[in-house]
Structure 1
């Protein structure tokens, strides 16, 4: 999924980039890709996190995490991702 380009104005931003009022994103599932590992999990409006477990090789690796709507279309990337060795 290629990143979307957002044009940032030359002046300070006042308010939201997309206009209107803040509202919850229509997130139906979360997709995580780390190297060869890829998984999508459904989420509900009461979830505050989603946990994925994967076996990874040592070293540098690319990761992507996205929030998807009910059609499976990416609405935005994940706000943050924690990786822990277990």
Structure 2
């Protein structure tokens, strides 16, 4: 719980400070989080190893920290109607 006589901005900062100090256990609480690139918007269902490698290399070249393979890691999927849970047996 927090209080501020200085408006919502100060109230919000109080809340976030309390959250960071007491609830977050990440090592990134007080430092910048890694910057990542996610393949989904660039490729949707149309990707192969070469295309993914190119995206990851370009991300590395501009200083991004992580590449996320958003779709396809669990098998062949070529439409949004097939859910990833449907592929698990």
Alignment TM class, shorter chain as reference: under 0.3
TM-score by length of 2: 0.23
Q: Which has the higher strand share?
A: 1
Larger helix proportion, structure 1 or 2?
2
Give the TM-score normalised by the residue count of structure 1: 0.24
Rg: which structure is higher? 2
